[in-house]
Chains A and B, each alone.
Chain A
Amino acid sequence: MSDEPVLKAVNLVKIYSDGAVPVPAVRGVDLQVEAGEFVAVMGPSGSGKSTLVHMLGGLDKRTSGEIWLDGQRADTLSESAWALLRRKKIGFVFQFFNLVANMTVADNVELPALLAGASTKEARERRESLLDALNLTGRADAAPAQLSGGEQQRVALARALANQPSVLLADEPTGNLDSRNTRDVLRLLGQVHKDGQTIVMVTHDARVAALADRVVSLLDGEIVDDGRLSRPRRRTVGEVIDLR
């Protein structure tokens, strides 16, 4: 799997045809994500970025094209087979945290690992280390509603990482957070990326996008730019931007 991209899309198309007129949302996207890469997907609203990421994760059915996950063709699988593959290989974070309201924080985080086939012991150990890394150990027995938005998003991130996914897919994970909580989530994403996690993330938040190695820009359902960001240089704020 070394030279195999973690995620590959070939001429991916999505046309919504529920209305009177078919609406093309994604119009022939080719994308290849290598292991350990952090790709930010940017673009105006309606450019197809959420649809693209949802398709890559199997949450939205493609109209045509191919999706490959760890060298395996995913889009031709049956719905249940893809669901199984998804549990093992994909972690999801959304703008709204989508935690299970009547389960504790600990159970929310353990669930995906258990669904992916981990033993109870493995799932618990993984949960403990994740909550610890996110400074949430003290909140393990709380219900999601008792947490602040920033804490809920950190739990959602822990949950997404619980099954040690090949790729973490995220759709505006900081879209609903204030700047302090954004900073916490940012630090965390930087950390998991440094530890080798492959990430594909839709965001309009430039601070989050700037953590990525590579930025893909969409416009009207097509990729209009795909490039690597240069490594940060150590500078003072006055050298980076002239405020006056």
Chain B
Amino acid sequence: MRLHLLALLAKEPAHGYELKQALEQTFGSAYPSPNIGQIYVTLGRLEKDGLVRSVGVEQSNRPNKKVYYLTAKGRDVLHLWVDEPTEGPRVRDEFFMKLVLAPMTGIADRMVLINRQRRHYLSLMKDLNELLDRTPPEDKIATLLIEGAMLHLQADLDWLERCQEDLS
């Protein structure tokens, strides 16, 4: 979350709660709502590392609130993050290890493992269908996030089919 907060602060200084709201507004219903405690902990660490600084702003009949802003060092780190290529999602090797190793032990049959995994993926896809249904199409960021997850699941299922053809 460190770099996500830096990116939001590059736009404008903000206090913790505003950052939480900005994340929610940007990513919409598709993204898990960020925990405010985690945001404050992360901001504290960023400040300790010199990537952000804070000033106290007086509020009438409330304790001061801390407004965070990006330092030059913070901006450099953000630039590095944006400019470097991003690792693709990893292959789900956990299931593959089960598939290869479990039959050797006599614990499980490959066909059973593959069938169970297929049902699991399709149930996840059902959840994503449901999620897409209740996401308004004008919420483009959330829609793209869901569609991305669907394409990954489709690839997992296609690969499962390949495993079934060649290993059973």
Interface residues of chain A, those whose CB is within 8 Å of chain B, are: 42-44, 179, 186, 204-207, 209-211, 215, 217, 219, 224-225, 227, 229-241, 243-244
The answer on a CB contact under 8 Å between A244 and B89 is yes
A175 to chain B, nearest CB (A): 13
Asked if B157 lies at the interface with its beta carbon under 8 angstroms from chain A, I say yes
Give Cα A179–Cα B131 distance, bound, in whole angstroms: 16
A-B contact pairs, 8 of them (CB 8 A): A204-B158, A207-B129, A215-B118, A219-B168, A231-B126, A236-B131, A237-B146, A238-B32
B29 to chain A: closest residue by CB: A236
- Are A235 and B148 touching (Cβ within 8 A)? no
- Contact assessment for B32 and A206 in the assembled complex, using a CB-CB cutoff below 8 Å: no
Residues of B in contact, count (CB < 8 Å): 39
What is the CA–CA distance of A233 and B125 in the complex, to the nearest angstrom? 11
As a 0/1 sequence over residues 130 to 168 of chain B, the CB contacts with chain A under 8 angstroms (1 = contact) are 110010000000100111111011100110011011001
Which B residues are CB-close (under 8 A) to A219?
Answer: 164-165, 168
Q: B-side binding surface: helix, strand, loop or mixed?
A: helix
CB distance from B118 to the nearest CB of A (A): 7
Is there contact, CB below 8 Å, between B165 and A44? yes
Provide the residues of chain A in CB contact with B165, threshold 8 Å. 44, 219
Pairwise interchain contact B149-A237, C-beta atoms closer than 8 A: yes
13 additional A-B pairs beyond A206-B154, A243-B89, beta carbons within 8 Å, are A44-B165, A206-B122, A206-B125, A207-B129, A207-B154, A209-B122, A217-B115, A227-B115, A230-B123, A232-B127, A233-B127, A235-B131, A237-B31
